[in-house]
Structure 1
Amino acid sequence: MKKCSAIIGTSLLALALSVPAFAAEKPISVYVNGTNLTFPAGTPYLDNNSVLVPFRVVFEKLGMQVLWDASTGTVTGTSSSLTISLKIGSKLATVNGTVKKLTVAPVSSNGTTYIPLRFVAEATGGTAVWDASGRSVKITTAASTAATDEQAITALIRQAVQYYNEEKTISYYSLIDDADSFGDQISSLNNFFQNYDIKTTIEELKVLSIQGNEATAYTVEKEIRTGGYYLPDERSEYLYSLVRVNGTWKISEITNEDRTVLLTKEQGMKSAGVPQGQADIIKDNLSKYFLAMTAKNVDATLAQMYSYGEDYDAESRSSLQEFFSEYDLSYVLNNSNIFYYANGEAAVYAETTLKDAETGESVEQPMLFIFYQTETGTWMIDDFYYLD
């Protein structure tokens, strides 16, 4: 009898140890998007730094249908795009068929199955934050998190544009991921602000996707020159790549997807006050440029373009050689007009005809050329734009 009693006593001890021990501490509260959950079938408890809760209330609050398989001790939550399965006593769970490891296994006590709360919250795309002092867990679901992230990303991009308009280089780069590695770019942007005055307005902003700690956004931005050296007004489409760093969204990359120069023919044909001798030189150099392009003469083409040093010239030469080897085009300058002239700069509106020798097809192509006057007084092409 003593041996039997000992066995019974040991069994009872084991049973007691397998049941969650609820000490006289403040009960654990669970909130989902600010709503305090009520658990009729049991009380949440802490085990190995994991909060375990009765499964049904949580699954249903997270928008999932619940299936309980008593024969295998498996609980399954399903939605239109997600299936989560956990088994009593097993530290292996599945999420859409993929095996995941748990820090603590589900437990059965008094007819109630307890599951690790954080795992389920994160598996459904949400977040779970434990407040030790308040003994509470606050879950934010994926939909709520996405809305918050979208607001943060939108505010970030608008803040970046504001800093850009205010020409605050350091503030602008504080919004960029790994900004410390952008020393050269910071210097270049400072130099740009010293020479150009551009004001940008966001006409359209959409957050395209948010996946974990990465996101993309699309903008349409209107960029208007207000002073400084000449640049044409433009409407640009940008794709922003963003990353979450230590809980804060940062811009990791900005790609120009498309741009349109906001210059009409009527604007381009308005004449600026240009000394006749200077106008003749500028237009003559433009004619020489098109003749050189038609002749596929790299040296003659480069002779009409402003040089920014040996590396720039080498890159330009390589690009021209590649272009001439790939295309057989001829150019006819039909009309040109200098519509901007100030401070050693000139902007020229040009109407050209491009003909493809291979197909015989031709197209009318309006263009914008920016000329820069060198220290020797020579006018050189600094940049050009296709207008459609």
Structure 2
Amino acid sequence: MKKLLLLTLLFMFILRIGLTPASAQEQTKSIPVLLDGLPIKFDVQPVIQNERTLVPFRAIAEALNVTVAWDGTTQSVIASNDTANIKLYINNKTAYRNEVPIKLDVPPLIINDRTFIPLRFFSEAFSCSVLWDDTYGVKITSPRQSMSVIGFYALGDTETSSWKNLFGKNYPEADKGNTDLVSEIAAGWYSMDGQGNLLTKSRTGWQRPDGWNDVIKSVKEFGLKTEMVIHVADGDGTIVTLLTNENAVNKAISDIVIEAKNYSGVNLDFEGLGLQSNGNQSTIERDAFTDFVRLLSEQLKAANLGLTLTLHAPNSAYKGYDYHALGQLADRIIIMAYDYGAKPEPVNLVTQAVEMAKAVVPSQKLILGISIPSENPESVITKAGIAKRYNLGGIALWRLGLVTNETWDAFRTTIQPR
């Protein structure tokens, strides 16, 4: 008898689930919302009301870098950025964009003491495109955003020519090409030895080409800025040898400043610090690099030249970089948020690197480095989306010569170089 009763109850439970209205099932189903391929985190889940998605207003506003406020007296949400001012009222199907009334399919609602707003209207009001995908949920694409775009110009070959990739023609001919998508060139032509000598030919492949003056001339003709990149790897202790020798430091800084007058500034790319050292030795290396940057920064500022640092990501294995101190000395820091081992680079690790850097360096001083060989046309939109989401100063592309036409086209949809 007990078994019969249990079977009856189980059958009734299954029948009840099967008869649950579709609308109720939709209400309990999680609704993913992606902005430029990045999930928007909500402390309470979006809901569907009359086949329209409503979301907590603060989360969507923060993801879009929109200033938002709640007016309890008028029961209204006010949001604005440089292009639009929005006002919505609870339980009112009339919203306003730049004072122009717009009819809504569903009004903003208060559900369990939380304010929910129509996702499509709010996103499109700030010039985003919105697509409902049955597999991935709501996909929002933000409008093009103005930011710095740094292209690393290094030696390649006939198939990976930085010149042709940038100017669209074989050297020495130059056309607009892809110069509309780059704001400045990081000329990867220099290295150093342990004695502080500035090298134009190095064993690591960083070489200044014979026609380097042609590059500078053509870049300037298309309105792009230039920086000289000094790349040194510490695999054999070259950097530590340099940083711990006062005479070598003084010579290095003097030679750099003299050569930098051919450019608008210096991009210092000293890689590998802090990988094999630990404890006091790691601290000594980190402090020595900071001291070197301090001296170089002072000399460059006196010459009215800028300083960019290209650094391993703060969540990498390289611990020889004091982001907080360096962020106070340099004009910009390029975060090399790549080489994590997967392709495309893992979004969670890239995001973590940006969050760690942003915690100690102003966001507009930070540039997100993107390794083109690790990415594809879809993933670069997400990486640029991270720079947008965290209001960074821009992105840096390693390197010119490797950017496909499809990838250039993808960048054109999401960024506007400044």
The two structures have a TM-score, normalised by structure 1, of 0.32
The two structures have a TM-score, normalised by structure 2, of 0.30
Structure (1 or 2) with the greater helix fraction: 2
Q: Which has the higher contact order (CA 8 A, sep 6+)?
A: 2
Structure (1 or 2) with the greater strand fraction: 1
Greater Rg over alpha carbons, structure: 1
